[in-house]
Structure 1
Amino acid sequence: YRTILCFLVFQTFIDQHILAKDKLKLEFRAELVNQGFTSKLLNLLALNRKGSFMGADEGRAKAEGLAQAVSWEQPESVSSFIQAVDSALHEDQREPTPTPVQLCDQLVKGQTCEDAFNFLYGLEYIQPRYVLRWEGKDLGMLSPGERGTLLLVFYLLVDKSDLPLVIDQPEGNLDNHTVAKVLVDCIREARKRRQVFIVTHNPNLAVVCDADQVVHADMDKENGNTVAYTTGSLENPAISKYVTDVLEGTRWAFGVRGAKYEVGD
């Protein structure tokens, strides 16, 4: 039930948040998959006994071949699979003309025909798998930075708390394009209901997010590493200079980049 509830929470989140569904292109879906059928079946069988699954390698290949042909979300396909396995357990299908065999003669010591049937027809080897995709990529294919960003996106959009939130350099391991495309809008959404404090060296987060207040920290290494703080809005000339010097690499560097990109005007 917890798994189903988790699925519903994620699906509701994606359906209700335009940012998640349209701009971030998040997908969350459930599918049925085979989980351990081959190994569990072979653990029931003595693979040195005559039958379709005789031989360790041959038996594994036979079981995997039967399982690979199944569409686990289709009842008809699963039903055909069960019938095929049942037949393979009651026939030696290694030869062109199958010959009858007794299931009880193929089982390892301590296992019964009832155990084998409970396993086959109990369908416990069919399990749900929940797949979260970001722009078409499964969660397992995302980089550490992308995974961290995805977690932060969920936290920013889902958490209903109005307590202040402190985020330390969320741009870590991310390119500027991803920061501007993904994080900026999510932070803007979160700040509608709570204060958001961000420690950053990224101009997209400080400037494009339109920070209400910027805090510049300056360490004087020649004077005992004392730290001085200057605060103010982006409209403040002194703060604007700090932003361009620290985040943009000076106004001169910013201007050079603008000219190179042909967006200086």
Structure 2
Amino acid sequence: TWEEKQAGIVGSNDLPETILGLEHQLEKLNDLPIERDELQTQRISITAQIFDILDEQRISREALFKPVQELIQSNSLIRNEYKLQFQSELKSNLDMIYDRLFLMVKQTAGDFRGESESLAVLRELMDKHDISSKPSLINLVQELHGRLEEASKLPGIQSLLKKDRNANEVYDFIFGLEYLKPQYTLMFQDAQIEQLSPGQRGALLLIFYLLVDKDNNPIILDQPEENLDNETIVSLLVPVLTEAKQKRQIIMVTHNPNLAIVCDAEQIIHCEFSRSNSNDISYISGAIECSIINNKAVDVLEGTIIAFDNRKIKYM
């Protein structure tokens, strides 16, 4: 009986409440840091593989637009003056990362104590690392993970998790790179199209269409000057319209006679709406040299000849 009780106390490796079982668990605990490091290395390796797949998608998109890019390079105006080009890159959205991450993680400890502080940490990391570079991106995810562990009161990030959330969700989000997307954007004078004003975007797309499209069919433009100042109209639209009209007919509706005059329109059609005469709409057409059309252009452009003369006297 004594030997049986002794054997029960000594036990074996697979009996956790015995001496041998406890010693075996202690040995395993000593090995856990090594195993953890190996698993973290494996996780980073998977992250690198995901990045490679996303980068392949980016390169594939770049190849699809290569013929268009070659057309752009063949036109000196859009190549040198407007610096118009397509750019394929891996991009991420700071707000999306913030919203998704802190849907799972509390903002109550360490660097992540408070909403503005948490956002500042993410912005700092995003500004510090180039997410289009694999080594830099790997550093980003590792540093973000490290910041979270530093803010946790317990090993890992368990104490930071919100109710009904688990650590694997956070790790899958950070290391799975679902916030990283291959995107293609149009660049204009070193600025992305998203950074331009609505008027500049419209003008840019019009420039792209008119100069890259090789068709010679007539085209109708409805107020291409909308949301653009006169200087931008003259520097941006006029050179493009002047070049495009060499190979195709351009019919343009505009409230800005600058376009018609500076682009040297072959024919101008002036439209007049009269509320006092039963809402009558009348049209008159002719070349710029025509005195009637010339006067109509001055009326709209300068606010009648009187305003034109006043300005002339002012600057004399």
TM more than 0.5: yes
Q: What is residue 74 of structure 1 aligned with on the other side?
A: 133
Structure-1 residue corresponding to 2:245? 191
Structure-2 change in CA distance of 1:7 and 1:135 (3 Å): farther
Q: In 1, are the aligned partners of 2:61 and 2:184 still within 8 Å (CA)?
A: no
Answer whether contact 1:32 1:128 (CA < 8 A) is retained. yes
Mark the CA change 1:216 to 1:8 in structure 2 (over 3 Å): closer, same or farther: same
1:8 aligns with 2:61: no
Q: Secondary structure at the match of 2:208?
A: helix
Contact 1:168 1:198 in 2 (8 A): yes
2:265 pairs with 1:207 = no
- Would you say 1:155 and 2:209 are equivalent positions? yes
Q: Deviations over 1:193-233 (max 9, x none)?
A: 32211223423211211111122334565554444433222
Q: Which residue of structure 1 lines up, in the alignment, with residue 46 of structure 2?
A: none
Structure with the higher strand share, 1 or 2: 1
SS of 2:248's equivalent?
coil
Give distance in 1, aligned partners of 2:139 and 2:62: 31
Distance 2:268 2:103 in 1: 64
Deviations 1:73-113 (A, max 9, x none): 33322233344456667xx5359xxx983678987758575
Between the aligned partners of 2:118 and 2:130, the Cα distance in structure 1 is 19
The structure carrying a bigger helix percent of its residues is 2
Letter in structure 1 aligned against 2:248: R
* Match 2:283 to one of 205, 208, 229: 229
Amino acid at match of 2:234: A
Determine the structure 1 residue equivalent to 2:150.
93
Residue 179, structure 1, aligned to residue 229, structure 2:
no
1:21 counterpart (74, 79, 89)? 79
Please report the RMSD computed on the Cα atoms of aligned residues, expressed in angstroms. 4.4
- Structure 2-normalised TM-score? 0.59
Alpha-carbon deviation of 1:61? Answer: 6.9
- Over 3 Å counting, the alpha-carbon distance change for 1:126 and 1:157 in structure 2 is same
Q: Which stretch shifts more, 76-85 or 172-181?
A: 76-85
Quick one: which amino acid aligns to residue 226 of structure 2? G
1:243 corresponds in structure 2 to: 297
Cα distance change, pair 238–130 in 1 and its aligned pair in 2 (3 A) = same
Describe how 1:103-182 pairs up with structure 2 within 5 A: 113=168, 118-130=172-184, 132-135=186-189, 137-182=191-236
**How many aligned positions are there?**
254
List alignment gaps of at least 5 residues for structure 2: 1-56
1:254 and 1:27 map into 2 onto residues whose CA distance is: 41
Identity value in percent? 34
Distance change in 2, residues 1:130/1:207 (3 Å)? same
The whole-number CA distance in structure 2 between the counterparts of 1:219 and 1:37 is: 54
Give a deviation string over 1:2-41, Cα, whole Å, max 9, x none. Answer: 9926983674564343332333344653443444445545
- Provide the C-alpha distance between the structure 2 equivalents of 1:252 and 1:46, rounded to a whole number of angstroms: 69
Counterparts of 2:194 and 2:106 in 1: how far apart (Å)? 37
Change beyond 3 A, Cα 1:242–1:25: same
Counterpart of 2:65 in 1: which secondary structure?
Answer: helix
Provide structure 1 residue ranges, at least 5 long, that are not aligned to the other structure.
none
Higher-Rg structure is 2
| Alignment check: 8 A CA contact 1:42 1:59 kept | no
* Contact 2:193–2:201, Cα closer than 8 Å, also in 1: yes
- Would you say the 8 A contact 1:214–1:232 is kept in 2? yes
Q: State whether residues 62 and 88 of structure 2, in contact with CA within 8 Å, keep that contact through their aligned partners in structure 1.
A: no
